[in-house]
Amino acid sequence: MNSRFAIWIFLLLLQSATVMAQRADYDGANFTSHTVRIQAKAESLYLEGHWQRARFIFEHELAPIGDKYAQYMVGYMYLNGQSVPRNPVMASAWYRVAAERGIPEFAAVRDQLLDSLSPDELAQSDARYVELRKEYSDLVVTLNLVSKERRLRRAETTGSRLGGGASPVTVIMPRNGMAMTREEFLSRGDEKIEVWLNYITRELGIDSVRANLTDKEFDDLAAKIDEYLEIIDDR
């Protein structure tokens, strides 16, 4: 069996894990049809042997939005020295981030690799894992979604499109052309923020936070996430 065919078989076996990873008990997923096209492009580039271009997409376009398969693939490429020097420690750190939702397939490869590391390598993996968690973990990805939605609300509500007073105002969303009233716009944003905040507070084990949280409350929540991510909890 040639190496390219073996890789193809390997990726096929992981397709079920890919689907599960994106549909797991996680409320921060914000994937669109555009995301799906990027995922397909990255996988096609990888299978064609364009590893550097594939890794760039996996690491810089998909991993930051919580794509667990992309995070896994970055680790896999570090483990096999594809477009980067072989680095099992770095691979293990990426595997640990990819496995944070408890997806069995990802957890299995994470545990297998961690078991092969020396004590010194394991300590290095812990340090790299914490660094990656603070950039790519579901908690950080979800908090970034909250921050983005809050900025959007401020931009829309302080501009002329929403205005003020009691008269109805129609808002035209620039991304999709959808028309809605001011009240509908604010309510829709609140619903999304509430879902994301519920996920965050559930994971942290803290009291719920209102959707229209203040800047101080947001900063306090970010600090709690940062503190939580310092804890090594996957082994």
Task: Return the SS3 of 181.
Answer: strand
Phi, psi of 184 (to 5 degrees): -65, -40
pLDDT at 172 (0 to 100) = 56
Rounded to whole angstroms, how far apart are CA atoms 108 and 99?
A: 9
Cα dist from 45 to 8, 98, 219, whole Å: 12, 21, 39
pTM score of the predicted model = 0.81
Cα angle at 16 between 13 and 20, to 5 degrees?
145
pLDDT at 1 (0 to 100) = 47
Residues in the chain, pLDDT under 70: 1-30, 156-187
With contact defined as beta carbons under 8 Å apart, do 188 and 149 qualify? no
With contact defined as beta carbons under 8 Å apart, do 115 and 169 qualify? no
Q: Which residues 6+ apart lie within 8 Å of 63 measured at CB?
A: 70, 71, 74, 136
Domains and CATH numbers, the chain: 3-136 (1.25.40.10), 138-228 (no CATH)
